[in-house]
Amino acid sequence: VLGCFVTICLDNNGSDIGGICFNTMGQDIESLGVSKGDLIISKKAEISEYVTDSLIAVSNSNLNGCDIQSIQRVSTFSTNDAEITTVAMQNGIGYENTVMASSCYGIVTSYIPALGSLLNFAMDNAILVCVLFILLSAFWCLLLVLIEKQSKTPKTNKTKK
């Protein structure tokens, strides 16, 4: 059930459920221990919540999914938006980048290894996943019927005379 809710907003350009964004990691970042395909969970934040050295999730135009970057500086232009200077960690090399707070997915709160790839596979192969779910459900129903039938068979005790 959780997977169904997550897939609605997975990699949907900042769409969120209750202020929480779900994105697939677009590349490996060894220094953070995050791999391509991990599910990145980020929380939408107010401009005042973006502080130096916190990690944010941003759109990755080169790859599918998102990228994680570290905040270096926040320049507030208005009450609604700010320019955030970040360091993007790509292939072990950090390079400076500038993103607007309004286009940011939010502050990274956690990640779940490999779940993003699994959910993307399920979305891309929905018919296969539905067929497998039906077959698995039928198997478990059959197994429960057999167990119930086995427990109802009377056991005879033969006594020696």
Residue pointed to by tokens 């956690």: 110
What CA–CA distance (Å, rounded) separates 20 from 3? 14
Task: State percent of the chain over pLDDT 90.
Answer: 15
**Which tens digit of pLDDT belongs to each residue from 15-60?**
777 888 888 888 888 888 888 888 888 998 888 899 998 999 988 7
The token pair at 158 is 């033969």
pTM confidence score: 0.67
**Which tens digit of pLDDT belongs to each residue from 109-138?**
988 887 777 777 777 787 888 888 899 999
* Range 83-98 average pLDDT: 80
